[in-house]
Structure 1
Amino acid sequence: MNLLILLLCFFWGSNWVAMKLSVGYFPPVMFSGFRFLLSSLVLIAIVLYKRIPLPRREDWKWYALCGLLQTTTPFIANQLALQHMDAGITSVLTFTMPFWLLIMGHFMLRERITAPKLIGLVIGFAGLLMVMDIRVGEMDWTGITLIMELVALSGAIAWAMANVIIKKYVRQNDMMQFTTWQMIIGTAALWIYSLIFEWGQPITWGWAAVACLLYAGVLASALGFLLWTYILSKGEAVKASVSLLLVPVIGTLCGWAFLGETLKPISMVGIIFVAAGIGIVNMKWGGTKAKPTKKEVSA
């Protein structure tokens, strides 16, 4: 499972390079629309090949809700926020998702808020602030910036809500079926938004644009969301989500390696904090289970 999480974090983290490059070729939400359209086509092909049936009538509402909360809302919220805030602040607000999931999981999934979870999450998030070189005291909390910060937070909360629904209501369903149909519904909503608000904005096609779409659509979206749904269905939601703090860390490292972005010493310290926080949350605490008595064995 740890290898799957690392693979997912690599796909989603390195996808930041594709997303940053795509700004020069596509309107921002339209790129997400193309990306998830390609991903949906890949998943539909697999569903047809494997002859996976349509969802049951009672499942459609959860698939539709997850599509809107996981695929549509966070990506629109991020693109709106990026027009008024730095990418670092936007990513930090997006990855407050584990905090919201920690609270929701306590009340809705019976995943208790324990000291190691809380401490590890705080340490990991502090490390994320260092990686992004964000100083909370210097952030602007007024005017349109405040509104956009709330918009970015709404995307994180929506993502957390989708994760609760996956864990609570669809974890026993076919993961390929769920991922495919929630993505189709979420993609349709992205296109509706883009056609209303981005109509007439230019698209510059070329090999680089196609490469960005292929990487973001096939690896980061189709394979990435399949991996995330599987990981979330098999493990504890909070522990899985905290591990996603590695995504912006890998994104920062890829920006340094491939885009020539500056990697400050504080960022290196932050990476250590993020790794420590993830380790604390996922570490097994407490003693081993007591061995059953002879009476229990014979029962």
Structure 2
Amino acid sequence: MLIIWLTILLCLIWGFNWVVMKTALDYFPPVLFSAIRFCLGAAVLLAVCYYKRIPLPKKGDWKWYALCGLLQTAYVFTINQQALQYIDAGITSLLSFTMPFWFAFLAHFFLGERLTAIKITALFLGIIGLFFVLEINPLQFEWSGFAFITQLLVLSGSVAWAISNIIVKKILQHHNKIQFTTYQMAIGAAGLLGYSLLFERGESIQWGTPAVLSLLFAGVVASAFAFVLWFYLLEKGEGGKASLSLLLVPMIGVLCGWLLLGESIHLISIVGMVLILIGIGLVNINETQRLRSPFKLKKKAM
């Protein structure tokens, strides 16, 4: 039950963070905002490591921490922030949140998490639900030109995110989650900062209370705290089920946009939310039944 509540908390934080990131674009160059956000998050976690006397990573761990930091922090957020300038935010979100599909596919081969009919059905319902929630017509996709290349890059970011989660689940399963999150985030932030210094020169920051509050929430809550929480959930439960639950994030983002930014929400979005909830419920109910079945067999044997 605790895992369920922590998953809901994570999705609420990352869903609300969509509103924060959207607001921040009025004050920061896109990639620079992500760079400062993750620098702040890493700084907070470094302070936690110092306070809790968490040691530096072992020599053999650095390569995995660096790989995850470059894949899921530097690459994903550089691609997605840039993509928002060329394709719709809804399409960017949809392609990014195909991550559970790629994770489930890879987990079948590398983690032994079988891609069952129930899981495939749940993923299908979730992705279709995303189309509805974000009100995306498949005809909106560009099938040639620069926009098509941008869409492929966002999709590659989703795959990179899934690969990073596979590494965490398979290789870094029992590593200290605060230590891992701290150093992968610091490495990813360095990559984002390097990109911004190279390609966003001349763009200024409009400092003010909204800019500071956006950084504090995105950096401390949605980065430092939320990523530690995500890796904890990934360690404690089945990875496919945990990643599928992240489909709640864009759904909550749409709801927050409606409540806080006055964005419109239509019946088709509500239908999509129902489909996402059904998909997540299918996997969770199936897992509960699977865990209970051995007890039933023992009872019959008696």
Indicate the TM-score class for this superposition, using the shorter chain for normalisation.
over 0.9
Question: 1 CA distance for matches of 2:139 and 2:243?
Answer: 26
Pairing of 1:163-202 with structure 2 (within 5 A): 163-202=165-204
Partner of 1:21: 23
The count of residues paired between Structure 1 and Structure 2 equals 295
SS in 2 for 1:288: helix
SS at match of 2:262: coil
1:294 CA drift (Å): 9.4
> Following TM superposition, by how much is the alpha carbon of 1:80 offset from its aligned partner in structure 2, in angstroms?
1.8
Amino acid corresponding to residue 241 of structure 2 in structure 1: K
1:291 matched to 2:298:
yes
The one-letter code of the counterpart of 2:8 is: L
Instruction: Indicate conservation of the 8 Å contact 2:38/2:223, yes or no.
Output: yes
Name structure 2 gaps, 5 residues minimum. none
Change (3 A) 1:294 1:243: closer
> Where does residue 161 of structure 2 map in the other structure?
159
Does 73-82 or 243-252 show the bigger shift? 73-82
What SS class does the counterpart of residue 8 from structure 2 fall into?
helix
8 Å CA contact 1:15–1:220 kept in 2: the answer is: yes
CA deviation string 1:88-124 (max 9, x = no partner): 0000000010111111101111111000100011001
RMSD: 1.4
CA deviations over 1:211-270 (Å, ceiling 9, x no partner): 000110111001110000000011111100000000000000000011110101110111
| Contact 1:16–1:251 (Cα < 8 Å) also in 2 | yes
Instruction: Provide the residue aligned with 1:103 in structure 2.
Output: 105
> Corresponding residue for 1:248?
250
Structure 2 residue corresponding to 1:208, chosen from 201, 206, 210: 210
In the aligned structure 1, how far is the partner of 2:139 from the partner of 2:124? 17
Q: How many Å separate the matches in 1 of 2:210 and 2:112?
A: 46
1:137 Cα shift? Answer: 2.9
Give the drift of 1:74.
Answer: 0.8
SS of aligned partner of 1:36: helix
Amino acid at match of 2:203: Q
Measured in 2, the distance between the counterparts of 1:28 and 1:230 equals: 28
Q: Deviation digits for residues 2-50 of structure 1, max 9, x if unmatched? A: 0010000000000011100011100000000010011011100100000
Answer with 69-78 or 282-291: which moved more.
282-291
- TM-score w.r.t. the length of structure 2 is 0.95
Q: Distance in 2 between matches of 1:63 and 1:126?
A: 34
Q: 1-side partners of 2:60 and 2:15: how far apart?
A: 35
Shift of 1:136: 1.0
Partner Cα separation in structure 2 for residue 69 and residue 233 of structure 1: 19
Taking the aligned partners of 2:23 and 2:155, their CA distance within structure 1 comes to 24
CA contact 2:101–2:123 (8 Å) conserved in 1? yes
**Aligned position for 2:74:** 72
> Contact conserved, 2:248 with 2:276, CA < 8 A, in 1?
yes
Q: Quote the Cα distance in structure 2 between the aligned partners of 1:63 and 1:293.
A: 48
**What is the rounded CA distance, in whole Å, between the counterparts of 1:293 and 1:23 in structure 2?**
61
Report if the CA contact (8 A) 2:30-2:82 is conserved: no
Q: Is the 8 A contact 1:121 1:281 kept in 2?
A: no
User: Which residue of the partner structure matches residue 92 of structure 1?
Assistant: 94
1:281 corresponding residue in structure 2: 283
Q: Distance in 1 between matches of 2:219 and 2:140?
A: 36
Aligned position for 1:272 = 274
Mapped partners of 2:258, 2:98: distance in 1: 23
Q: How much has 1:171 moved relative to structure 2?
A: 1.1
Q: Is 2:258 the partner of 1:260?
A: no
Q: Give the CA deviation at 1:202.
A: 1.1
Distance 2:33 2:300 in 1: 61
Equivalent residue number for residue 138 of structure 1:
140
Give the structure-1-normalised TM-score.
Answer: 0.96
% same residue: 53
Offset at residue 186 of structure 1 (A): 0.6
Helix, strand or coil for the counterpart of 2:171? Answer: helix
